Structure 1
Amino acid sequence: MAEDLLSFLFPHEDFLEKYSKSYHVDDQKIVYQYKGWQDTPKIIYIQKGIFQVETRGKSGWEPIELAVQNQILGFESFLEEDYALKGIAYRLKSLTPGDCIFITGHYFVDHLYANPKFFLAMTEQMARSILKYKYQRYYKHDNLQVEVIRFLKELINSGIFQPHYGYLSLPKEINPKLIADHLHASEKEIYEVLKQLETKLWLQQKNNIIMIQKEAQKQFN
């Protein structure tokens, strides 16, 4: 999708240089911070790596979503100035080394309608995010194991991790602490849930790496 999207948006090198800027980032770097109506609208396209979207809460910056390859961020670019997210702040932090491209907001919006394939992909991504937030707000399970399985399922469905020798190995950055932060649980609780899933032979933990058994991935659906 990446090459197709970029070649469609930027048929000439001049357009690429004028309306976008590419970045390669190391891990644990703040890539972007949205500052509300004062900020220039821009679209962020994740080309490679794992990033984390964080919003400012009462106790500081809190993670709300992982962003992975082929994901698009910056939907506030679609809002008119009168409807800007005033008082809302979020930032994008890299969890692993990665690549992303910043695209001028109005340029992206003006061109997107001309390609139904990319418009549909973006609309589907927006719908998934909205449904996820509604689920978290109104339908949160009391069973933490269900929440951990949902979290892992989202990573599996992203399609960026390939099975190897019957297992899908997650990057070391996807660890109990990160899962605990996203699910608002303690690390101890997450460790206990992962041990339960190990007992069911759904996954293994080896050298601090979570390895999901290929056949068990069906149980996550």
Structure 2
Amino acid sequence: MLEVYDFLTTSSGLAQEYTETIHFESEQVLYQYDWLKNNQFFLMKKGIAKIEIYRKRRWEFETLVAAGEFAGIENLINRRLFCSNIKYRIVSVTHGEGLLIEKDYFLDHVYANPSLFHKILENVTLHHIITSYNLREKKAPLKQRLADVILELVMLTSLPIRNNQVTLPFPFSEDIISSLLRVPVHHVKEILSYLEKEEIVTREHDFQVMDYNRLGKLSNLNVETFKNMRLQPLHI
């Protein structure tokens, strides 16, 4: 996805005028949606961040975004036809780098390059598929839903799977899982204890999947399909 970054910053003069590079540490607000004032897109160049949605007077974890993904897709909506009081923000969970891009500058580049436009559609479609699946499976057993979510996060962040193991390089606490699955924390603790006892995951240091294939068997997702769905770089 660095090709997209290079494409948007080919002209140093225009890039200096219409973009802003952000270097960030963990737990830093990178982007916040404001329907009335927002006129920017955000491109994640390095690192991982979480999307939080404001519900019932608090910020709740929704999903992750990683290198090569965009925020600000709402700028494609005609404001005269649609309005929303939804609030969301992107908060870093690792250190990294991103690019804020003025709306018109970004759209000019998108319309001039079909490959870039296709990449945006691909990202939006992928997140929509995952969201729709999770809504459909919200009454499934909690063990399956937790396995689903872990597989989805591994895929969305393109984490490498080596020797049937994968480590999540960001905090994945019981509270985050509880917020993500909309279930009480004590239920999450029970499932995590089971997974640890079966040596499927461990939380001794980072959150690590010790047996990716066995985790996949708990899920209703096809593990091999998800490996193939991992986001690929865009070549322009």
Interval of TM-score (by shorter of Structure 1 and Structure 2):
0.7 to 0.9
Structure 1 residue 98: deviation in Å? 2.2
TM-score (norm 1): 0.86
Unaligned runs of 5+ in 2: 224-236
1:101 to 92, 99, 102: 99
Q: Secondary structure at the match of 2:80?
A: helix
Residue matched to 2:28: 29
Unaligned runs of 5+ in 1: none
Alpha-carbon spacing, 1:84–1:30, altered in 2? closer, same or farther (3 Å): farther
TM-score (norm 2): 0.81
Residues 30-179 of structure 1: pairs in structure 2 closer than 5 A: 30-36=29-35, 38-158=36-156, 160-163=158-161, 166-179=164-177
Structure 1 residue 72: deviation in Å? 0.9
Q: After superposition, what is the alpha-carbon deviation per residue over 1:125-184, rounded to whole angstroms, capped at 9, x for unaligned?
A: 111222333334444233111111111111221353234565211125122221121111
Alpha-carbon spacing, 1:105–1:203, altered in 2? closer, same or farther (3 Å): same
Which structure exhibits the higher relative contact order, with contacts defined as CA atoms closer than 8 Å and separated by 6 or more residues?
Answer: 2
- The 2-side partners of 1:62 and 1:85 are apart by 22
- The 2-side partners of 1:110 and 1:90 are apart by 25
Aligned-residue sequence identity (percent) comes to 22
Structure 1 residue 5: deviation in Å? 0.3
Q: Is the 8 A contact 1:76 1:85 kept in 2?
A: no
State the number of aligned residues: 219
Q: After superposition, what is the alpha-carbon deviation per residue over 1:29-78, rounded to whole angstroms, capped at 9, x for unaligned?
A: 22222121x21321111122221112221132222221122111110111
Structure 1 residue 13: deviation in Å? 0.8
- The 2-side partners of 1:167 and 1:212 are apart by 5
- The 1-side partners of 2:126 and 2:164 are apart by 29
